[in-house]
Amino acid sequence: MKLGWIGTGVMGKNMCFHLLNAGHDIFIYNRTREKAEELIASGAVWKNSPEEVTKKADIVFTIVGYPKDVENVYFGEKGIFKGVHKNLILVDMTTTKPNLAIKINKKAIEMGIDSIDAPVSGGDVGARQGTLTIMAGGNQETFDKVLPLLKLLGTRISLQGKAGAGQHTKMANQIVIAGTMMGVSEALVYAKTAGIDPEKMVSAISHGAAGCWTLDNLAPRVIKGDLEPGFFIDHFVKDMDIALEEAEKKHIKLSSLELADKQYKKLQAEGYGKKGTQALTEIWKKEK
């Protein structure tokens, strides 16, 4: 199958490799070509714009940074909607605003094609291993058509509802992660100040009621002093701000999310935006 892939960052590059390695023809574009060179060397075909990618592909996948990037990739002067053709399907895997997913879907339908929003969870580890959780929004028929491809990227894939539902589910996911990151970070700080071995502590509690993905995958990185990104703080703050915006629209207050957002913005201000979310423990070092 001829596939388009737009966005070859920390997540996108590894996800695209799974499709390429499965034997599909891949046409790619990234704002910075350098980040796509490894894929090009492995057989992906570079195109100079989202429009050019779209003209060549049966299904176009996108995973970029921010809502403004999604807007530009789809609606820009050389965007995806300039290259639309019959039977095209669009799959946006970026975590973005639910109303933007609805806007893309509405435009797609007006042009005689279809789209789904399919944000992911699982970080760089899940992207490399093909074990991502994928939450989709759109119609069942379109979802079923792209499901065989999504199965190359993830192990838990579900259709959550109509367009935008995937993004709303991802917001719920990020709300849980925000609170979990706070708890894990505080546990590591507590262990250190209590004089106990953090590795032994994590090993013990990860098999009890506290067990979670964050303890298994990010706590060991903190213990080793590895703050490199599986998921950028900058992108996590973006996600939290979207969730808080949606909560405000629905007249609900998410106090723990507000606190996590505040703490991560402190790290951003200190220059940690391109570090991984596990860098939250640095807050306590600075508050001594």
pLDDT-derived band of residue 285, with 50, 70 and 90 as boundaries? confident
pLDDT for res 288: 57
pLDDT of 284 reads 86
For strand 114-117 and strand 59-62, is the pairing parallel, antiparallel, or unpaired?
unpaired
Contact by Cβ (8 Å): 177, 218: no
Indicate the pTM of the whole model. Answer: 0.94
What is the Cα–Cα distance from 215 to 196, expressed in whole angstroms?
Answer: 16
SS3 136: strand
Strand bridging mode 120-121 / 132-137: antiparallel
CA distance 18 to 149: 9
Annotation marks residue 238 as catalytic? no
pLDDT in the model for residue 181: 96
DSSP bridge partners of 46: 28
Report residue 230's pLDDT band, with 50, 70 and 90 as the boundaries.
confident
Which pLDDT does position 200 carry in this prediction?
Answer: 97
Domains of the chain plus CATH, in order, are: 2-162 (3.40.50.720), 168-286 (1.10.1040.10)
* Residue of 55, 170, 238, 275 marked active site: 170
Q: Residue 183 above 60 pLDDT?
A: yes
- Please provide residue 62's backbone torsions phi and psi, each rounded to the nearest 5 degrees: -130, 140
Q: Mean pLDDT of all residues in the chain?
A: 96
Other residues' Cβ atoms within 10 Å of the Cβ of residue 21 = 13
Task: Determine the Cα–Cα distance for residues 162 and 70; give it in Å rounded to an integer.
Answer: 19
Question: What confidence tier does 156 reach under pLDDT thresholds 50, 70, 90?
Answer: very high
Question: Alpha-carbon distance 6 to 36, whole Å?
Answer: 10
C-alpha closest to that of 92 among 177, 167, 38, 34:
167
